[in-house]
Amino acid sequence: MSNAPSEFLLLNRLLRLYPVKALRDEFQITGSSQADLIDEVLANNTASGITKFCFDSFNYTKQHVYIFDLDKSFTAHTFNDADFPYDVKQKAVTQNGGITFYCLPEIVYKVVLQDPYESGIITFYQPLKVTVEKKTLIIQFTILEKNPNSYFESGRYIHGKRLLDEATLKNNILIYFQKNYYTTVCDINRGVKHLWQSDEIDSKYVKFKKDKSTTTETMDEDETYKKNYPTEYADMMNRPLGKTIIKYLMDDGNLCENFSVDPGKGEISFSRYPISVNQVENVINKILSNN
């Protein structure tokens, strides 16, 4: 197993994080499988063109989103690309005078294989997006697989360990911004509950804190919480939410059909590919604008 992956291999693994639809739409290709499509993209595009696509199409990926409050409004002069802990690959100014930028930190897994026995490392790019404007810092990670089993022949993978986890990446980013700002987790309970009260969303799985206990409710099949338990729902609206799985009720495709939130931790997770490139940002903006 090579311990020094080529750029070709890294880009191949990077493109596997994107849905087939995004690849077809951007590169106007017609391969029948994801592997065929990726081979065609790699054969006909430069590395810089591929990474630009990955950043431009970032919101087509499955994601973990972390939201933080700043103690004062962000000013661009406090940010220096050269001092940031990860290489800034692409950057833009936001409408409100903030910045959005992208990084591709390399993530290494130590793995052990069998038939024959072999140990080594496998490396991936993990797309990372940071937006900071006004008093809000948003860190978004494309979700990598928990283990790289699918990158090896069937039955060979025994176990692996990720050497640089998402929590460490996030904490290093926070440490950087804490040179100039005091950061706190953004409690998004109010924004989530606003969407719930306006019947834009309901829940398949809900967790919330009572006076002396924590309650969870898992709904059957297509049932949702507010619809079936309006009295309990009304009481829950006065309590902090824990990790909750959201179902979008509108038929307009504006938000992701399903996503999860952990409001007290300022976290939103998208474990399925969005249908359009705008849906993830719409979820984040809708929650924050009503928070």
Q: How many domains does the chain have?
A: 2
DSSP code per residue over 268-288: EEE-S--SSTTHHHHHHHHHH
Please tell me the least confidently modeled range out of 6-20, 29-43, 261-275. 29-43
Q: How far out from the chain centre does Cα 222 lie?
A: 25
Residue 55 counted as domain residue: yes
| 106 plus 246 within the same structural domain | no
| 166 plus 211 within the same structural domain | no
- Quick one: the chain helix, strand, coil %, rounded to 5? 35, 30, 35
Residue 155 counted as domain residue: yes
pLDDT grade, residue 114 (50/70/90)?
A: confident
Angle of helix 34-44 versus helix 7-15 axis, rounded to 10:
130
Residue 1 counted as domain residue: no
| 104 plus 91 within the same structural domain | yes
| 179 plus 222 within the same structural domain | no
pLDDT grade, residue 1 (50/70/90)?
A: low
Residue 2 counted as domain residue: no
Task: Give me the pLDDT at residue 79, please.
Answer: 95
C-alpha–C-alpha distance, residues 140 and 127, integer Å:
8
Burial of 166 (0-12, 13-18, 19+ CB in 10 A): middle
Task: Give me the pLDDT at residue 161, please.
Answer: 87
Question: 140 has which bridge partners?
Answer: 65, 129
| 237 plus 113 within the same structural domain | no
Query: Do the Cβ atoms of 15 and 38 come closer than 8 Å?
Result: yes
Task: Give me the pLDDT at residue 153, please.
Answer: 78
Termini Cα distance of the chain = 49
Q: Which two tokens stand for residue 46?
A: 């430069």
| 13 plus 109 within the same structural domain | yes
| 221 plus 105 within the same structural domain | no
| 176 plus 213 within the same structural domain | no
pLDDT in tens, 186-200: 999 999 999 999 999
Write out the residue range of the structural domain in which residue 71 sits.
7-185
Residue 53 counted as domain residue: yes
Nearest CA to 97 out of 52, 131, 56, 140 is that of: 131
pTM score: 0.94
| 244 plus 167 within the same structural domain | no
pLDDT grade, residue 3 (50/70/90)?
A: low
| 172 plus 208 within the same structural domain | no
Write down which residue in 169, 185, 201 finishes a domain: 185
pLDDT grade, residue 156 (50/70/90)?
A: confident
**Which whole-number Å values give the CA distances from 169 to 66, 68, 104, 107, 180, in the listed order?**
12, 15, 11, 10, 19
C-alpha–C-alpha distance, residues 198 and 204, integer Å:
17
pLDDT grade, residue 57 (50/70/90)?
A: very high
CA angle 284, 23, 126 (to 5 degrees): 55
Query: Do the Cβ atoms of 14 and 125 come closer than 8 Å?
Result: yes
| 143 plus 260 within the same structural domain | no
Residue 143 pLDDT exceeds 90 = yes
Residue 281 counted as domain residue: yes
Write down which residue in 153, 185, 217 finishes a domain: 185
pLDDT in tens, 231-256: 999 999 999 999 999 999 999 999 99
Residue 61 counted as domain residue: yes
Task: Give me the pLDDT at residue 201, please.
Answer: 97
Task: Give me the pLDDT at residue 168, please.
Answer: 96
| 215 plus 161 within the same structural domain | no
Residue 162 counted as domain residue: yes
Give the pLDDT mean for 8-19. Answer: 94
Query: Do the Cβ atoms of 51 and 41 come closer than 8 Å?
Result: no
Write down which residue in 185, 210, 243 finishes a domain: 185
Residue 119 pLDDT exceeds 90 = no
